[in-house]
Structure 1
Amino acid sequence: MPSSHFMGSLSTPKVDVAIDTGNPFLNASVDGFLKIGTVAATRALAEEVYHAVDKGNLSSRSVEHALKKMCKEGAYWGTVAGVYVGMEYGVERVRGTSDWKNAMIGGAITGALISAASNKSKDKVVIDAITGGALATASKFINHLT
């Protein structure tokens, strides 16, 4: 019985843009903003291209809508990522250790801040803090699996 298999390795290109603000906290926050903001903008673009192809309609209005959505999504998710990376870095500096607890605390603080900034109720802020902490912790654990 014939069989086939794939052997090899795949690697992703590494793109690093270093912006040195002279402060490690700000460097980490800006780096998170840029990387995740770019991912969010790319996701928005892919979604808009899909809708344009699906409808068979590409107009200047749809391009303008896509650009606005890219900017909005990129700015929002970049801001969330920048706040999270900055909080995790700050917690690490305060605690003096690097472990999953920094991610949990940083995620919880970020969830609470973003929720509070959106004028949510006290209960929603607490729920968003719990969710932020859980997602950040899960992300750390997944990173250690690979």
Structure 2
Amino acid sequence: MSSNLETRSLLDDWRNFDKGCFFDLGHPLLNRIAESFVKAAGIGAIQAAARESCFMAVEGTESSNSPDITGSKNKKNRFPDLRGETNRKSLEAMVKSTGKESLQWGLAAGLYSGLTYGLKEARGAHDWKNSAVAGAITGMALALTSEEASHEQVVQCAITGAAISTAANLLTGIF
């Protein structure tokens, strides 16, 4: 058994990650939630870090008085602590924002994956209905994580989540 551990490579570990046996928490539902969370959180962190790095670089090259694409001189800064500088405050804001977005991606993927698995086990079928319900609940949960969640926004996110997940389920195998 120890020889197997010594001969395994990083590539072997990544192959096992795709097969779904990276975690063993004792129950398939927990394994699925944990794997979905880790995969999506990693993707969310990479996406957020790349976006904010690009934003910092673009803001650092532009002067504060130059007009933006719309022609207004007062640009609305999406991240008020990011100033396009390489100072400590900008880096801290980037790490905080990346961590928050990574957590949101992970929670959304874990919730969706857990709901689809639970509904499949409860109903005995994996179809578009499970995807629609899981997508709607996940969409509502994501809407509630925003700072200014309104009733209309929660309903819109539920409808959007249901539509996207249903479409993905129905289009599986077509492309």
- What do residues 61-80 of structure 1 show as CA deviations (whole Å, max 9, x unaligned)? 22222111110000012111
> Quick one: structure 1 residues 100 and 49, their matched pair in 2 at CA, closer, same or farther if it must change by over 3 Å?
same
> Quick one: structure 1 residues 89 and 67, their matched pair in 2 at CA, closer, same or farther if it must change by over 3 Å?
same
> Quick one: structure 1 residues 51 and 129, their matched pair in 2 at CA, closer, same or farther if it must change by over 3 Å?
closer
- What do residues 79-130 of structure 1 show as CA deviations (whole Å, max 9, x unaligned)? 1111111111111111111223221121123233444676955555444322
Higher mean C-alpha displacement, 75-84 vs 55-64 = 55-64
User: Is 1:73 the equivalent of 2:101?
Assistant: yes
Q: Larger radius of gyration, structure 1 or 2?
A: 2
Aligned residue in 2 for 1:25: 29
What is the TM-score of this pair, normalised by structure 1? Answer: 0.76
User: For residues 92 and 44 of structure 1, what CA distance do their matches in structure 2 show?
Assistant: 32
> Quick one: structure 1 residues 129 and 52, their matched pair in 2 at CA, closer, same or farther if it must change by over 3 Å?
closer
Aligned partner of 1:88 among 95, 116, 128? 116
Higher mean C-alpha displacement, 56-65 vs 25-34 = 56-65
Aligned-pair Cα RMSD in Å: 2.6
Aligned residue in 2 for 1:105: 133
The letter for the 1-side match of 2:114 is: G
In the alignment, structure 1 segments of 5+ residues that lack a partner are 1-12
Total equivalences in the alignment: 134
Aligned sequence identity (%):
34
Higher mean C-alpha displacement, 79-88 vs 103-112 = 103-112
What is the TM-score of this pair, normalised by structure 2? Answer: 0.65
Aligned partner of 2:160 among 131, 134, 146? 131
Q: Give the alignment of 1:107-122 within 5 angstroms.
A: 107-115=135-143, 120=149
In the alignment, structure 2 segments of 5+ residues that lack a partner are 1-13, 62-84
